[in-house]
Chain A
Amino acid sequence: MWSFFHKLGSPPWLYRIAGTILRWLLPVTIVALCVGVTWGLLYTAPDFRQGNSYRIIYIHVPAAAVALAGYYVMAIAGAVSLIWKMKMADVAMKSCAPIGAALTFIALVTGSIWGKPTWGTWWVWDARITSMLILLFLYLGVVALYEAYDNKEAAGKACAVLTLVGMVNIPIIYKSVDWWYSLHQPASIKMTGDTTIDPSMLYPLLLMIASFYALFTCCLLMNMRAEILEREARTGWVKKLALGYRS
């Protein structure tokens, strides 16, 4: 058990194992995304009330769900790097931010496009939408804060603090549709109680949610690999790797 944690802190080991995982996870993810998109776009019946516009759900909900989950990953990595000064946790935290920002952006834009035919407006200052916008700014804030510091250790510390303070936003996003009842509909898929969505629509949605989780994992591992190389550029193992690299 402890040797596993020890390895997790070792850059060359992490670089190699991430590469091994990506070799099969990346193709699986891309195939799953293609299947899910085709299924949702062309092989499901339209919603009886919203018509075809509801098909946006197959990217909107997965992007929003994984944007939130990604924040947990970033916050846990931030806490670990703050408490135990683990360098690879800092790498993980930094690598989460741009992916989280991209997914939050997708959730906001697709939600806005979905809102036009359904609610008759592109944007409302609804609690769910506003708190998601804050999530986007938190992710972008971490990206910007890293760039703002010359001292990378201080940058990591500042970002970890920002990430942890930003955690207060997460329960607000979850509960916003129940606390402030406005245009955004409450959750259809619930861990407890009845799910209010037809199975023919649920299965492609679940596939898309799983695919987006896999997508996040792939992007995270790829970002971490690049970040590790950059930080370890002066070490022997990276030099050896670069020597064998054919461009």
Chain B
Amino acid sequence: MYFDSLSAALSMDGHGPYVWSAYAICLVVVALILLAPRRRRRNILRRLSAEQKRQQHGQIPGNEGK
């Protein structure tokens, strides 16, 4: 490792806040673009599977509660 200690790695001779915040923002955005499609796909499958179960029970989808 280049740095002698954890605090040296965190401060990076004064550049630490810039470097670490850039990496933190990058991490958040990357996590978002990786998780969003996964969630969307699961929601669609869950919705469709629920719709089919309702149809099997003889209800018209989208008409529940009326």
Contact = CB atoms under 8 A, between A and B. Distances in A.
A219 to B, nearest CB: 5
Contacts of B52: 239, 242-243
Given A114-B18, A238-B48, A219 B34 contact: yes
Interface string B25-65: 11001101110111011101110110110000000000000
B51 to A, nearest CB: 8
A242 B49 contact: yes
Interface stretch (A48-56, A72-80, A129-137, A144-152): A48-56
Query: Which size bracket describes the interface of B in this complex?
Result: 20 to 34
Interface stretch (A37-45, A153-161, A167-175, A176-184): A37-45
A52 B12 contact: yes
Given A41-B23, A42-B1, A44-B2, A230 B29 contact: no
A218 B2 contact: no
Contacts of A43: 1-2
A42 B42 contact: no
A1 interface: no
Given A99-B33, A106-B29, A241 B45 contact: yes
Given A56-B18, A59-B26, A239-B48, A42 B9 contact: yes
A53 B15 contact: yes
Interface in A169-224: 215, 218-219, 222-223
Contact of A59 (B15, B16, B22, B49): B22
Contacts of B41: 222, 225-226, 229
Interface of B is mostly: helix
Query: Which size bracket describes the interface of A in this complex?
Result: 35 or more
A173 B65 CA distance: 55
Interface of A is mostly: helix
A123 interface: no
A218 B42 CA distance: 17
Contacts of A226: 37, 40-41, 44
Given A51-B15, A116-B18, A226-B44, A45 B26 contact: no
Contacts of B36: 98
Task: Determine which residue in B22, B34, B51 has the highest number of CB atoms from chain A within 10 A of its CB, and name it.
Answer: B22
Contact of A245 (B12, B16, B45): B45
Given A51-B13, A52-B12, A55-B12, A242 B45 contact: yes
Interface of A: 33, 37, 41-46, 51-53, 55-56, 59-60, 63, 98-99, 102, 105-106, 109-110, 113-114, 116-117, 215, 218-219, 222-223, 225-226, 229-230, 233, 238-239, 241-243, 245, 247
8 contacts: A41-B9, A46-B2, A53-B19, A59-B22, A219-B34, A229-B48, A233-B48, A245-B49
Given A42-B1, A51-B12, 6 more contacts: A52-B15, A52-B19, A99-B33, A219-B37, A229-B45, A247-B42
